[in-house]
Amino acid sequence: MKNIGVLTSGGDSPGMNAAIRAVVRTGVYHGMNVYGIRRGYQGMIDGDIQLMQTTDVSNIIQRGGTILKTARSKEFMTPEGMQKAYEQLQKHGIEGLVLIGGDGTFRGAVKFFEQYTIPAVGLPGTIDKDLSGTDLTIGFDTAVNTAVEAIDKIRDTAEAHDRVFVIELMGRDAGYIALNSGIACGAEDILIPETVTHIDELLNKIEADELRKKAVHIIVVAEGDDFGGATEVHASITERFPRLDVRACVLGHIQRGGSPTYTDRVLASRMGHAAVNALRSGDTQVMIGIVNNEIVHTPFTNVIKGTTPISADLIDMIRILSV
């Protein structure tokens, strides 16, 4: 395999640039031509493809976002869109792909392979850590550290004013950011999609805290919690306790940005290097993951179908430590 393409797709995550850098430089080292495909699958359809050199990825390992841009493409999931994408790959002589993204990216790769048998290797680029087959995803560590820093600052003002704060974090289908940042910040309650939220239990806990003169209460909620986000939780608390000073805070896309942490830079570099080696060895239609600090290859079909359950021990620990 002499010509490969690399793209980023779906939501951006800190560390994607480090992964692109590793793919380009590993490919060039092995005598390959590495093409950057801008704006994900949509860029593949439009032919937004350019040959990359090692100098094109200089001084990007510390940058958030993605130099290749990213997008979601409904057109790619149509037969006509896939045909256009295939023709563009043929035009540039691209024989294999490195796809940096999440669940939707890998679903697209499976359908594309079924039609055109273009080999592909995926890297888990998502802050949500909602993919099976890996202990960490590119961007998760940075997003959690961003959330921890913000929650620590919010607790300062909560302490100063004796306030209850409801802080909403990203996590539509998975609550790992909320769970880990909540634990790290000593949140009194953590609400995540993986568990059922009983709002009455939360309200009773706030009332019990009041009785024992504990005025500050930090509640971390993932956006995909079954009860709702910060707005819904805030409304329930103020309805029950109109005397309390309750504030809602949605951190939003600040969690996606920023310079990647050491962990994400090294993780993305290891994965990008491994992805090129997988293509060279013919091991394709797999996602590169890290399990117990070792590189593993998991078939796309298993990644798409699988989920990583939240540890029951962690849930129990949260309950105990928030007393």
Q: How far is CA 206 from CA 7, 99, 188, in A?
A: 47, 46, 9
Per DSSP bridges, beta strands 164-169 and 120-124 are unpaired
Beta bridge partners of 96: 4
Annotated binding residue 120: no
Q: Is the pLDDT of residue 306 over 80?
A: no
Mean local confidence (pLDDT), 213-220? 88
- Known binding residue 280? Answer is no
Decide if domain 142-256 falls under CATH 3.40.50.460.
yes
Query: What pLDDT does 321 receive?
Result: 81
pLDDT at site 147: 97
Question: Is 37 labelled a binding residue?
Answer: no
pLDDT at 108: 94
CA pseudo-torsion sign 50, 73, 114, 299: positive
122 is in an annotated binding site: no
Question: What is the spatial distance between Cα 305 and Cα 33, in angstroms, rounded to a whole number?
Answer: 33
Predicted confidence (pLDDT) per residue in 231-244, tens digit = 999 999 999 999 99
User: In whole angstroms, how far apart are CA 12 and each of 27, 70, 116?
Assistant: 23, 7, 27
Q: Give the C-alpha separation, 54 to 21, whole Å.
A: 8
Residue ranges, comma separated, of all CATH 3.40.50.450 domains in the chain are 3-139+260-305
Q: How confident is the model at residue 214 (pLDDT cuts 50, 70, 90)?
A: confident
The residues annotated as belonging to the active site are: 128
- 271 closest CA partner among 116, 117, 140: 140
Give 84-97 pLDDT, tens digit per residue: 999 999 999 999 99
Beta bridge partners of 221: 168, 191
Range list for CATH 3.40.50.460 in the chain: 142-256
Can you tell me the distance from the alpha carbon of 291 to that of 115, in angstroms, rounded to the nearest whole number?
31
Task: Return the structure tokens found at 151.
Answer: 């929650």
Give the model's pLDDT for residue 312. 80
Tell me: is residue 21 an annotated ligand-binding position.
yes
pTM of the model: 0.93
pLDDT digits (tens, 9 = 90+) for 154-190: 999 999 998 999 999 999 888 999 999 999 999 999 9
Arch. (CATH architecture) of 3-139+260-305: 3-Layer(aba) Sandwich (3.40)
